[in-house]
Structures are given as structure tokens and as C-alpha cells.
Chains A and B, each alone.
Chain A
């Protein structure tokens, strides 16, 4: 540890921001490959305690081909993923992904995940939306939680790493297209830190907090996107925000798709199983975009139920016919949530649900190895991204349920290996950035933000207005005029953000400061999402426009790339890699 210019500099070989499934898996992979050979030192940085990352909330399952002898195949999983993505996925990446997923399920099995089992002891799998074979591997309805536990515990086994709990990363230091480290605030002391590293990984998860009704944790504020964007790196496909069909009214707590996988029904005001209108063959198990749209359609047509307490419309999710025993075996957490938050026992009452924000298909523009690409499409030396923060793109315009956790695992593996190979082959030296980058950043936070005495805007007011705007105008169904209103409002909020003043001036655990920095990222993202959605004049996957209801493959079979410009984002487009299947109409 070296002290200079009033800040701490910490030297590592690999610095990983984010300790969700993707971050932990990457760390393990680097250490596992290394086994002391190069003696790589790894830093795992997270703004909350490592084991508290949002991945613990993942419930339903993780897809992988485990039983080809029973009729599953890699081709089938690839096809499901690509069709589910509404053909916006890069097919070469999907093909690689489906193979590694199998190996990952087995690996974490041996690291302690208590998968649900068949009678003979083999791993059990179940149905999930949009699958043509029951291949969602699960551990009750706490799959992500158990995976996180196994990875976290396994990481503890290794010695050559340090944990940085509650360190908020504020910027990526990049010079001449070369990664030079991260700057961070140690929340516990309020000190400014510079993590100097040969390789960096961004695994900061999604940005569900842009919305009011969300299933995502408070820590999912999309910082990683903001960091990359502010460092001049492109973001891909950000307008595709997944709405999970079944969020518990009023707050949007997730009721896992596994409920429908086990056979739950969706029912409208008239007691009708309305999914037969929208997806006659798959019914409730159609992909999420289709089910979410269906629910919103029902509500728009006046077939929703009005909930007086929250003032929201909803439909019912009915599990009564499953029986108590099955519910306790397979869906205990859903039962707990119902009882705890609404006093409803799913054994004898249906749950009120409506779509809730769930996942960001888009993310930092990376190549098939997880290397972060710059605006010209060349990799930034020494920087990778993985998990929800990255967009390879495997998920295209709509992620299939149970394809998120395995993307994190697979890309943790790929990126970990790639980093190891890079360091082994190139033997890079520790970077030395110009000091003024670091001092400018320190000044931005502590001088210009914390130390600012003028202005009167309040962080939380702006955040509330932002959430309401997104909820109102950039929801499941979008229209040009709504999106325009959203853009205007967001720009106004961005102006007001320049004028904020913090009330908490302390250094130790200054959450006010953290929230202000997060809000800065969120505002940028909101603008990218709304403007990207406004430009994309078609409906594809999670992006559904009422004024352009059809998919338009001639003009829009391409990825959106957003770059930071002087005045808001600049958009360009790149082609989708189609190597296996031509787009066809998507019926379920």
C-alpha cells in the first residue's frame, strides 16, 4: 500500500468490480487456473458485502443441457435461446454458451449447490418459459441464492485475493485505449482509493432501480453501465429492458417463473386463462416478453383487477390446483413471500401480480470473449465485462428465464480464462496513469459534489421523479409520443442534477453521496434507454411499440450502440451475427 496525493493506491493483478455470480465466478476461475503459478493477486470490489450481491435473489433456475439421452440437445437449447431473443442474439456466442453451461452446472454442483434431485440422485430439471425441453436446473426456488453461496464459499478457499466490501467504484481509468485501474470510495472510512491493476473486470449487474416497480435490489443501479459510458465506451442494446410478467403487487417482488413452470395459471377479472389468446401452445410458459405484453393488454382492455391500496391494476396468478405438498416442495419461498408481504397463502388464494422490471438485456459492448470493445470495435487492452453488465449478446432482445445465471457462470469462466491467458502471455506491467486523471476524479467527488455548498436540489426527489417518468412512459408498451415526453423530462432532471446539494457532509458511510453518484449514472442510462427506444421503430422482444407493432427485420435486425456525446448519447448500429438460423416469425 502506497500513499500519494492523499489517496491510497492498491496494486493488484486483477481487479473485479462486482461480486455477483459473474464477479465471483471470474475470481475463482483466475485463482483456479493460476494455482500459485503466476501468483496472481485478485481484488474483488463490491459496494455492498460480497455475499449480498443481487444474484442472491434469482429464484427459478439455470438452463443447461444435462440429459441429451432424454431428448435434449445443444442445438435445441441454442434454438430456444435465439428464438426467445427474437433473433437479436449473436448466434456464434449462443453456440459457445450452451456448451459451457453444461460444464458449469456440474462444476458448481461439486462446489456445494444443493440442486433438487431425482430419486436416483441425479440432478433434476424443470420447465421454464420458452423452453422446448425441461432444462432449468434448480435448487428449490432459491437457485441464485444457493449458487451465490457455493461460489462465495468456494472463493473463500483461495488465499491470493483480497475483499473490498463496501467500496463504491466511481470511475474506470482508461488512457490510450488501455485499462489502468478503478477509482473507488471506501464507504467505511470515506477514503478515496485507486485500484491499480493489470486487468479489470466489470460485473456490476443490472439497472432495475430506474423503475419504481422492480424486482431488482436497491444495489442494481447500473453503475457499471454508467462507468463504461462515462469512460467513453459504447453500450449496446440498452433499450431492451425485460419486464418479468409476475411481480407481486404493489412492490414488484418477484414471483418466479418456476411457479408457471410448475403449472400455475394466469387469470383475468373474468376468471379466464387469457394466455390462450396470445400463445395457444405454450400458454403461461411463453417467453417473458410475450406474457408481459399479454398481461398489460388485458389490463389496458379493462380486464385487470383494481387494487385499492396501491392504486394499481393487476391479474391473478393461481397456484391453488398444485396442492400444498407440491408447493412446499418446489415453491416454498413463493409461499413465504405471499404470506409475509400480503398475508396470502398461495395454497388457497391466488396472488395479485403485474409486470415488474427484471433484467437489462443490453450492456457494455463486449466481444465473444468478454473483452470490452471501444467505439471502433477494437478491444480495450486489459478490460473485460461479464454477467448482466455485459452484452455479448446472448440474450438479444429478450432473455429466456433461467438464461441469466448461466450467462454469469459461463462468462465468469470465459473471462477468467481469458485474463489468465492474457497475463501469462503478455506479462503486462502495472500501469501508470497520469496523476491528473486521479486528482480530477477525486475533486469531482469530494470537491465538486460533497463539498458543494450551493444549489438546492435533492437527490431523492430527482430519483423519485425519474422512477415515475420511466414507469409511466418507458414501460412494457411504448409509443413515440410517450418516449418523447420521457426524453424531455429526463433532460430536465439532468439539468437539475447539476444543481444538487448533499445534506450529509460526513465521510464515514455517507450514503447520501453514494446515492448521488448512483443517480448520476441512472440519469445517463435513462436517457440512453428512452432515446434508443424512440429511435427503434419496430417491436422486438422486450421493446414493444404500440405505434410500430411489428418486427422489422429489413431495417432493424441490428444492435444499437450508444456512445457518449457532448450533448447526450450518439447512436449507431452494428449487424447481428447470424450463423445458424434465419429469423422466422415467432409463434408460441
Chain B
């Protein structure tokens, strides 16, 4: 099978063709591995888990951003593969792109649980009650593996590199929708910005390519709604009922071990 890879070595860019023996069960990542191990040791690409849960191997395969380890050759239904680095990113070498901006955007939306009383996040004996229904309001958005593929698909990122992008906005919604979180008002000024939610015109490309079904486009539209509600009707997020706190007796910190050769009642 013919594989065409977009290469870059810091100075020049070029297309390079390889001829690889493939099995139909191989993934694109297997093919790249074969090239790197058997033909060309200089080819650079990222990988780690090989099972679609770490987010390392995002690249553009036959014109569509995808995870290489999740794309089987047989699914492509073509007899040659074209592999490029992710669109909209700076390329450092071959298929390796610079993700620092992406990571910083994620951080800028404060993606952590915020409580009015931060002590509640520190003391061990407390626990939140979250019903399965409440869980459902945000778990989908927690599936994000930070692969950054959605930003490569997004037409808005293509014209505004400062746009926060589907991943960060999706994560902002993930925390806002979390019944344990109380940070909506802290985040709103970051999101309600010309590079924030309002830049999104709902092309849905992010949701289309997301390998984990996170559906960031949905999260962004929900965010817009919540922000409008807040600004126009002065309504704080009512989407999810806040979670209840249960106080539990603290577990004894390493009490005395049981007597030597302690026997369980009834045995185990």
C-alpha cells in the first residue's frame, strides 16, 4: 500500500512516499510504526497508549483529522493513505505539532471544580451526593482526551488563532454543568468574549471529528444559552441541581493493626 506523508524538518517541507505491506486489521498507527522501524528512522510522530485513550496520535488522515490508532486501514476504503500533521497548528517536525497554545487555552477556562468555600475540596471526610441523572449532565464532556483534533477541524480556529476553540469551551461547560461546581460566575467573563463562545458559528466540525463522542459543539451552544440567560435574565445556571454534601465520620488514620493472626468471624 502506498503511504504519502507530509514531512517537515525545520527548514523544508515535502511529501514522501512509502510502500508498506499492510494487514487489513492494521491501524494507521501500525503502518507508521512499520515505516519508522523498518524503513525510515527519522520519521517523527507521537504515540503512546495505542488504544485511543491518551490523545497523542492526532493527525490528518486522507483529509480528515483523526486518531491514527483508532483508524483501521480497512475502514478507509482507499488503496493509498495520505497523512498530514493537524491543520491550524504549528508544525515542529513531520507529524509533530506544537500543542502548547492548545494546552494553555484549556487552562485559561479554569477547568477545575470551584467551590465558594474551598475548604470543602480539602477535607477528606466529606463526600458529594451525585445521582446518576446528575452525573449524566456532564460525563459526556468529561470524555475529552485532549487530542486537539477538534481544533484542526474547526473553521473558526483557522481564521482566529486566539479563539478558545471547541476543546476548551467544551471543558468549561463540563465544569459548569457539574453539580458539584460553583464557578460559573468566575468563568463567565473568560467565555463571554470576542474570542470566546461568540466566535463559534456552529459548523459542528469539532463534534464530527471528535474520536470520543464528546460533542463539543453541543456544549458550546449550551454555554451560549447559559450566558444569555445570565446576562439578560440575571439567572444563574439552573441546568443542574447542585450536589448535596454528605458528612462522614473521618476514617481513623492508621489505627492499631489487628492482633497477630487475627481470624475473621465466619472466615473468608
Contacts and interface: CB of A to CB of B under 8 A. Distances in A.
B44 A511 contact: yes
A78 to B, nearest CB: 8
B129 A121 contact: yes
A75 B144 CA distance: 38
Given A56-B145, A117-B131, A512 B124 contact: no
A156 interface: yes
A122 B245 CA distance: 10
A582 interface: yes
Contacts of B135: 114, 116-117
Nearest to B142: A114
A106 B248 CA distance: 10
Contacts, number: 193
Interface string A65-78: 10000000011100
Contacts of B253: 99
B100 to A, nearest CB: 8
B54 A309 contact: no
Contact of A117 (B36, B96, B132): B132
A259 to B, nearest CB: 15
B10 A508 contact: yes
Interface stretch (A487-495, A498-506, A521-529): A498-506
A49 interface: yes
B48 A48 contact: yes
A217 B49 contact: yes
Interface stretch (B14-22, B197-205, B217-225, B258-266): B258-266
B92 A188 contact: yes
A120 B128 CA distance: 11
A48 B46 contact: yes
B264 A117 contact: no
Given A110-B113, A110-B126, A110-B128, A581 B50 contact: no
Contacts of A122: 127, 129, 246
Interface stretch (A8-16, A141-149, A383-391): A141-149
A219 B50 CA distance: 10
A16 B59 CA distance: 30
A49 B42 CA distance: 21
A309 B44 CA distance: 29
Task: Identify whether the interface residues of B are mostly helix, strand, loop, or mixed.
Answer: loop
Contacts of A460: 36-38, 41
A76 B264 contact: yes
A111 B113 contact: yes
A340 B211 CA distance: 12
B42 A79 contact: no
A115 B128 CA distance: 11
B53 A579 contact: no
Nearest to A146: B142
A433 to B, nearest CB: 30
A54 interface: yes
B264 to A, nearest CB: 7
Interface string A34-73: 0000000000000011011110110000000100000000
Interface residues of A, number: 77
B131 A120 contact: yes
B180 interface: yes
A271 to B, nearest CB: 26
Contact of B132 (A79, A119, A502): A119
A153 interface: yes
Given A114-B142, A117-B131, A340-B72, A52 B264 contact: no
A509 interface: yes
B113 A117 contact: no
B107 interface: yes
A32 B135 CA distance: 27
A456 interface: no
B103 interface: yes
Given A99-B253, A122-B129, A581-B262, A52 B55 contact: yes
A95 B254 contact: yes
Contacts of B49: 52, 54, 56-57, 217-218
Interface in B219-268: 243-244, 246, 248, 250-255, 257-258, 260-262, 264, 268
B42 A504 contact: yes
B64 interface: no
Given A80-B268, A115-B130, A511-B36, 12 more contacts: A54-B49, A76-B264, A95-B257, A106-B126, A110-B113, A110-B121, A111-B113, A122-B129, A188-B92, A460-B38, A506-B42, A506-B93
Interface of B: 9-10, 23, 25, 36-38, 41-42, 44, 46-56, 70, 72, 92-94, 96, 99-100, 103, 106-107, 110-113, 120-122, 124-132, 134-135, 138-139, 142-146, 171, 175, 178, 180, 243-244, 246, 248, 250-255, 257-258, 260-262, 264, 268
4 tightest Cβ-Cβ pairs between the two chains A and B: A121-B129, A103-B124, A460-B37, A503-B41
5 contacts: A75-B258, A106-B126, A120-B131, A121-B244, A459-B41
